[in-house]
Amino acid sequence: MTKTRLFKIGDPILKTGMYICVPCGFVTEFFEGETFSTCEACLAGTPDGPYDFQNVEDEFWQLYDDYLENPTF
Ligand SMILES: [Zn+2]
């Protein structure tokens, strides 16, 4: 059983790869050793983000390969 894992702003990146912003579908690359930032397309995790994704504690990044296997929406 695949466990869907979502990440929020400031979470450490444990694996370099393509990640998808679940609320808007924007895909970008993040690198191991860095931390997740807001989505440059929809500003999720900030007060200017989409509905239900305006808090810094909201998790919205998902590893794209996991998303393809196990879409959250
Ligand atoms: Zn986004």
Q: pLDDT tens across 5-45, in order?
A: 999 999 999 999 999 999 999 999 999 999 999 999 999 99
Tell me the whole-structure pTM to 2 decimals.
0.90
Tell me how far the alpha carbon of residue 36 lies from the centroid of ligand 1, in angstroms: 12
Q: Please report the pLDDT score of residue 46 as a whole number.
A: 98
Tell me how far the alpha carbon of residue 1 lies from the centroid of ligand 1, in angstroms: 27
Distances (CA, A) of 19 to 13, 47, 59, 65: 10, 21, 12, 8
Tell me how far the alpha carbon of residue 41 lies from the centroid of ligand 1, in angstroms: 5
Tell me how far the alpha carbon of residue 11 lies from the centroid of ligand 1, in angstroms: 16
Q: pLDDT tens across 34-56, in order?
A: 999 999 999 999 999 999 999 99
Tell me how far the alpha carbon of residue 61 lies from the centroid of ligand 1, in angstroms: 8
Q: Distance (Å, rounded) from C-alpha 19 to C-alpha 26? A: 8
